Amino acid sequence: MTSDTPRAADTPRPALTRDRIVQAAVALIERESAEALSMRRVAAELDVAVMSLYNHVPNKTALLEGVADRVVAGLELGDDPAQSWQEGARALVRAFRKVAHDYPRSMTIVLTHKVDTAAGLRPMERALALADAAGFDAATAVRIMRALLAYAIGAQMREAGMEKMLGHLEETGVESWNHLDPDEFRHVIAYGPELAAHDPDSDFEFGLDLLIAALEALPRGPAAEPGSGRG
Amino acid sequence: MTSDTPRAADTPRPALTRDRIVQAAVALIERESAEALSMRRVAAELDVAVMSLYNHVPNKTALLEGVADRVVAGLELGDDPAQSWQEGARALVRAFRKVAHDYPRSMTIVLTHKVDTAAGLRPMERALALADAAGFDAATAVRIMRALLAYAIGAQMREAGMEKMLGHLEETGVESWNHLDPDEFRHVIAYGPELAAHDPDSDFEFGLDLLIAALEALPRGPAAEPGSGRG
DNA sequence: AAGCGCGAACGTACGCTGTACGTCTCACGT
DNA sequence: ACGTGAGACGTACAGCGTACGTTCGCGCTT
Closest CA to A161 of A107, A93, A92: A107
A166 CB within 8 Å of a chain B CB: no
Higher pLDDT, B227 or A18: A18
Position A179 pLDDT exceeds 90:
no
> Per-residue pLDDT averaged across A108-128, rounded?
91
User: Whole-angstrom Cα distance, residue A204 to residue A206?
Assistant: 5
The nucleotide lying nearest A53 (C-alpha to C1') is: C9
Give the CA-to-C1' distance from A55 to D18 in angstroms: 12
The nucleotide lying nearest A7 (C-alpha to C1') is: D25
Q: What was the pLDDT predicted at B226?
A: 45
Neighbours of B60 (CB within 10 A): 15
> Per-residue pLDDT averaged across A62-74, rounded?
96
Three-state DSSP class for residue B36: coil
Q: What was the pLDDT predicted at B70?
A: 96
User: Whole-angstrom Cα distance, residue A30 to residue A120?
Assistant: 20
Instruction: Tell me which H or E stretch contains B207.
Output: helix B200-217
Which pLDDT band holds residue A30 (cuts at 50, 70, 90)?
very high
How far does Cα A86 stand from its chain's mean position?
21
Query: Do A83 and A229 contact (CB within 8 A), yes or no?
Result: no
Position A215 pLDDT exceeds 70:
yes
If phi > 0 it is left, if psi is from -120 to 50 it is alpha, else beta; for residue B27 that is alpha
Closest CA to B113 of A214, A77, A225, A168: A168
Asked if strand C contacts A56 at the CB level, meaning under 7 A, the answer is yes
Q: Lowest mean pLDDT: which of A156-160, A170-174, B113-117, B135-139?
A: A170-174
Closest CA to B110 of B209, B41, B22: B22
Asked if strand C contacts B41 at the CB level, meaning under 7 A, the answer is yes
Q: How far is B122 from chain A (nearest CA, A)?
A: 7
Q: What's the half-sphere exposure (Cβ side, CA atoms, 13 Å) at B152?
A: 29
Q: What was the pLDDT predicted at A14?
A: 73
**Among candidates A108, A147, A157 on the partner chain, residue whose Cβ is nearest the Cβ of B210:** A147
Q: What whole-number percentage of chain A has pLDDT above 70?
A: 85
Position A226 pLDDT exceeds 80:
no
Q: What was the pLDDT predicted at B171?
A: 63
If phi > 0 it is left, if psi is from -120 to 50 it is alpha, else beta; for residue B225 that is beta
User: Whole-angstrom Cα distance, residue B211 to residue A207?
Assistant: 8
A205 CB within 8 Å of a chain B CB: no
Query: Do B22 and B65 contact (CB within 8 A), yes or no?
Result: no
> Per-residue pLDDT averaged across A147-172, rounded?
85
Give the CA-to-C1' distance from B176 to D23 in angstroms: 37
Sign, Cα dihedral of A135, A141, A143, A148 = positive
Q: What was the pLDDT predicted at A5?
A: 31
% helix, strand, coil for chain A, step of 5: 65, 0, 35
Residues in contact with B101: Cβ distance below 8 Å, sequence separation at least 6, in sequence order = none
DSSP string, B77-100: ----TTS-HHHHHHHHHHHHHHHH
Asked if strand D contacts B55 at the CB level, meaning under 7 A, the answer is yes
B79 CB within 8 Å of a chain A CB: no
User: Whole-angstrom Cα distance, residue B69 to residue B72?
Assistant: 5
Query: Do A188 and A180 contact (CB within 8 A), yes or no?
Result: yes
Q: What is the pLDDT along chain B (231 residues), one digit of tens a residue?
A: 333 333 334 445 678 899 999 999 999 999 999 999 999 999 999 999 999 999 999 999 999 999 999 999 999 998 788 899 999 999 999 999 999 999 999 998 998 888 889 999 999 999 999 999 999 999 999 999 999 999 999 999 999 888 877 777 666 666 666 678 899 999 999 998 999 888 999 999 999 999 999 999 998 865 544 444 443
- B185, A125: Cβ pair inside 8 Å? yes
Which pLDDT band holds residue A169 (cuts at 50, 70, 90)?
low
DSSP string, A39-58: HHHHHHHHTS-GGGGGGT-S
- A151, B186: Cβ pair inside 8 Å? no
Residues A72-113: tens digit of each pLDDT: 999 999 878 889 999 999 999 999 999 999 999 999 899 888
Q: What was the pLDDT predicted at A230?
A: 42
Q: What was the pLDDT predicted at B163?
A: 81
Q: What backbone phi and psi angles, to 5 degrees, belong to B15?
A: 70, 120
Which pLDDT band holds residue A196 (cuts at 50, 70, 90)?
confident
- A153, B152: Cβ pair inside 8 Å? no
